[in-house]
């Protein structure tokens, strides 16, 4: 029973770690996808979740504490 509990705990922690994406890596991935579609000019910015306001959110990183926002122009 202890082994099962340990396995479940480790699996849940692994999922949390995977969700905590590196913001710069995410920004680079999204930047490449937007450029591949030919959408120019644009800016991508990493902001704290509470600072998002009316911007278009295109990604989440830092375990949900930061968002990647997209702006045309």
* Calpha distance 69→57 (Å, rounded): 4
Amino acid 4: pLDDT: 43
Question: What is the C-alpha to C-alpha distance for residues 50 and 47, in angstroms, rounded to an integer?
Answer: 8
* Cα torsion angle, 34, 73, 54, 26, sign: positive
**Segment 2-25, tens digit of pLDDT:** 544 444 555 655 444 555 679 999
* pLDDT confidence of residue 67: 97
State how far the Cα of 58 lies from the Cα of 53, in Å rounded to an integer.
13
Do residues 36 and 4 make contact, with C-beta atoms less than 8 angstroms apart? Answer: no
For the cut 60, the answer to whether the pLDDT of residue 63 exceeds it is yes
Backbone angles phi, psi at 23, to 5 degrees: -65, -40
């Amino acid at each position: 029973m202890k082994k099962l509990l340990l396995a479940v705990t480790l699996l849940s922690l692994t999922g949390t770690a995977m969700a905590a994406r590196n913001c710069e890596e995410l920004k680079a991935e999204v930047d490449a996808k937007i450029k591949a579609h030919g959408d120019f000019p644009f800016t991508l910015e990493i902001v704290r979740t509470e600072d998002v306001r009316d911007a278009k959110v295109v990604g989440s990183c830092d375990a949900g504490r930061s968002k990647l926002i997209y702006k045309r122009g």
